[in-house]
Structure 1
Amino acid sequence: MPDPRFFQQAVDALSVDELAARIGGEVVRGGDRSVSAVAPLAAAGAADVAFLGDKRFIASLAETRAACVILPEFAVERAPAETALIVSREAQAAWARTALLFHHPLTLDAAIDPAAATEDDTVVLEPGVVLGQGVRIGRGTRVGANTVIGPGVQIGRDCQIGSNVTIGFALIGDRVRLYAGARIGEAGFGAAGSSIGPVDIPQLGRVILQDGVTVGANSCIDRGAYDDTVIGENTKIDNLVMIGHNCVIGRNVLMAAHTGISGSVTVGDNVMFGGRAGVGDHISIGTGARVAAGAGVLADIPPGETWSGYPAKPLRQSLREAIWLAKQAAGKARS
């Protein structure tokens, strides 16, 4: 279930028949079963709707505990016998519509009295700060001018929040620094194809910034699609860095400016990224690894290794290939 500090239940429950009528799809079985939330296949429970959109996850379908699964016709026989099923040619888009039915993000309808959000008078709110319902700010924290903090956000002690920052759907630890213009908790980039064009996939997760994290000016950290985006203790993020949804970044990581991390990337502790490094989605980078400036990472990096180039490769291999290519180009130029 999405965190109620950030999302409200829009519809209490629907039968599977009612749901199929609203989102499109054919009920195979279990039309009278009641459902009230959405979740991924692996995490879904007895009242949840999940979906299967890719053959790669067929093994998870057999083990799911979801009340209902939206799936393509080819997968029906692989689903547990007790699970209600809705067949759809656009299963992910249908699941996205389901999420929109059940879960609405809380909005900043009205600002609250700052005194209701702060621990004591050591908290400083500069002019123009806006706080949503349920915000809590710890002792010794300073919030810069014109910063907007959305409903339910929790901020720890001795933090420094710059001016014109926006924070939503986030839990922030102690001694965190967010520089001017940082965007924390915006919706991650996700869209599902459908007969009427791309459908936005609701982003129902959070951002968790652990103690001692620094986020540079105008950097963006997206909230998770369902699970959380997590930044580990004492990680330092430079200006103009992008971190996509569902990423889990370890402790003491350093990211130089213009680094871009795609969704669902896992980064171990003590990893270093040079400027303008880019990482593809669902990549794992091991503890102590280094990614050179401008590298484009399209494969997992083992712990302790240094990779460079595009596509990124172990440093020595990348340098040998670059030298060989330079020699070939020079030879052709002489001839």
Structure 2
Amino acid sequence: MPDPRFFETLSPFSVADLAAQIGGEVERGGDRIIASVAPLSSADRGAIAFLGDRKFASALATTKAGCVIVPAEAKDAAPLDAAVIVSRTPQAAWAKASLLLHRAVTLDVAITTDEAAEDDSVVVEPGAVLGKGVRIGRGSRIGANSVIAPGVQIGRECVIGSNVTVGFALIGDRVKLYAGARIGEAGFGATGTAAGALGIPQLGRVILQDGGTVGANSCIDRGAYDDTVIGENTKIDNLVMVGHNCVIGRNNLMAANTGISGSVTSGDNVIFGGKAGIGDHINIGEGARVAAGAGVLANIPAGETWSGYPARPIRQFLRETIWLAKQASSKKAPKES
């Protein structure tokens, strides 16, 4: 179930009514009542999930979801106790169901500093706006013209710079967010339909653990359903992008212009050089280093340093670079006399 501090859960639907709304056909279980959406791995009996890729077939076989949306060829693989909706575009159908069952809480009413603050040591500078349910810990400061959306929890001794927006997020103690940082915006997710691309509702959160820093104008997207997590004491430079569902370890360092695609996992003590780019669903091991400008398209083992595009172990990269330089030098045309 999406966090109720950030998302309203709307009226439930029967499987048959949902199918009619999202454009699917009921295979079985049309009378079952569905109240929420969830991934296959975490869905319960009141939730609807979907199979969008064959690689998740094992998750389909073991899901506890009350209803699953599947392509026609996978309908017999669904658990016998689950209701089944058949769709040619299961992910798009699930996205439509998300819109029917959940709605993001909006900033309709602002609250006062006294309502949000743990005590009178909290400072909220002029022009800042606090949404309903915001809580701010002792000794924290909210910068001028920043917007803290409904439900956000901010720990103690945090510093939120000016013109920062924070939504759908839980912030630990001693966290610093510099000017213009964007925390908790919707992750980039879309799926194809006959009518064109359809945005997928992002129902997760951002969790920034204690002691972290997020530089000016950097963005951390909330999860698509699970959380985007930034580990303790991780330091993020200016103009960095962290996509949805990433789980970043403790004591990571990210230099400016680093771009982390969705669902990336990094271990503790990883270093990203400036303008490093990481493809989606990549795992980077503990203590690894990504050189400046590298484009990472494969998992990096713990402790290794990778460079180049596509990135590979730095010794291999340097050998190839030297060999190419020698080849280019040896093939230069002789000068005319």
Determine the C-alpha separation between the residues in 2 that align with 1:216 and 1:43.
33
Q: Give the residue type in structure 2 aligned to 1:246.
A: N
Residue of structure 2 in register with 1:252 after alignment: 251
Q: Structure 1: how far apart are the matches of 2:55 and 2:138?
A: 48
How far apart, CA to CA, are the structure 2 residues paired with 1:102 and 1:78? 26
For the residues of structure 1 that align with 2:6 and 2:329, how far apart are their CA atoms? 59
- In the alignment, structure 1 residue 157 sits paired with structure 2 residue 156: yes
Residues 68-123 of structure 1 deviation map (CA, whole Å, 9 limit, x = unaligned): 00110000111111111000001100000000100100000111122100011111
Which amino acid is 1:114 matched to? Answer: T
- SS of the aligned residue for 1:198 comes to strand
Alpha-carbon distance in structure 1 between the residues aligned to 2:329 and 2:52: 49
Q: Which residue of 2 aligns with 1:189?
A: 188
Amino acid at match of 1:155: I
Residue 262 in 1 paired to residue 261 in 2?
yes
Name the amino acid aligned to 1:4.
P
| Correspondence 1:212 to 2:194 | no
Q: Does 1:128 align with 2:130?
A: no
State the match for 1:233 in structure 2: 232
Match of 1:106 in 2: 105
Partner residue, 2:4: 4
Question: 1:10-21 alignment to 2 at 5 Å?
Answer: 10-11=10-11, 13-21=12-20
Matches within 5 A, 1:66-105: 66-105=65-104
Distance 1:263 1:75 in 2: 26
Q: Which amino acid aligns with 1:48?
A: A
**TM-score normalized by the length of structure 1:** 0.99
- Residue 334 of structure 1 and its aligned partner are, at CA, apart by 3.5
Local SS of the residue matching 1:115: helix
| 1:178 and 2:181 aligned | no
1:240 corresponds to which letter in structure 2?
Answer: L
SS at match of 1:324: helix
Map of 1:304 onto structure 2: 303
Aligned to 1:281: 280
- How far apart, in 1, do the equivalents of 2:274 and 2:203 lie? 30
Secondary structure of the 1:28 match is: strand
Which runs of 5 or more structure 1 residues have no equivalent in the other structure?
A: none
Q: Which consecutive unaligned segments of at least 5 residues does structure 2 have?
A: none
Cα displacement string for residues 276-314 of structure 1 (whole angstroms, at most 9, x for unaligned residues): 000000000000000000000000000000000000000
Q: RMSD of aligned C-alpha atoms?
A: 0.7
Report SS of the residue matched to 2:280: coil
TM-score normalized by structure 2? 0.98
After TM superposition, where is structure 1 displaced by more than 3 Å over at least 4 residues in a row? none
Matched position secondary structure for 2:27: strand
Specify the SS of the correspondent of 2:220: strand
Deviation at 1:9, TM superposition (A): 1.1
1:328 corresponds to which residue? 327
Is residue 35 from structure 1 mapped to residue 37 from structure 2 by the alignment?
no
Letter in 1 for 2:5: R
Deviation at 1:333, TM superposition (A): 2.1
